[in-house]
Amino acid sequence: MKIAKHKPRRAAILVVVLLTMLVVTSIVGTTMLLSLRSQRECRVERQMIQLQFLCEAGALRASEKLAMDLAFAGDRWLPDLGDGSETSTEVVTKVIREPDQSMSIEVIASLEGGPYLQRVQRTRLFPFRVNTN
C-alpha cells in the first residue's frame, strides 16, 4: 500500500513538471520569434535608409556631371558601401529632358546579395534646372 500512495504523487509531480516545461518553452519560442521579427524589421529599415542615401548621392553625382556637360544622359554607378558585406550596390541615373527645357534626374538605387538580403530597389525623380546665364 505504501507504493500505491507514492505513484499518484509522482504522476502529479510529473504532470506539473511537464506543464511547466510547456509554458517555459512557449515563452522562449515567442520571445525568439519576436526577436527575429524585430531583427528583420531593423534590417529592412537599414536597407531603406541606405537606398535613400544612395538615391541622393546618385542625384548629386549626376547633377555635377550634368553641370559640366549638358549632353550628359545618365550612367551606371557601382559604389562600395565599405561595410565588408557581400552586398552588391548599383545606382543608375538617367536625365529626362522635357520640351519646356526643364530636366529631371531619375535615380534607381538597388541593393542585393548577402546572406539575408533580398533585392531591394528604390526609384526617385529629382527635378533639375540648368542655369544657362
Residue 24, pLDDT score: 96
Query: Position 83: which residue type?
Result: D
Dihedral sign from CA coordinates of 66, 103, 56, 121? negative
Reported as a single tens digit per residue, the pLDDT across 16-63 is: 999 999 999 999 999 999 999 998 888 888 888 989 999 999 999 998
pTM of the model: 0.71
User: What pLDDT sits at residue 99?
Assistant: 83
Q: Which among 76, 96, 97, 80 has a CA at the least distance from the CA of 88?
A: 80
Average pLDDT over residues 64-79: 90
Gap between the Cα atoms of 133 and 54, Å rounded = 31
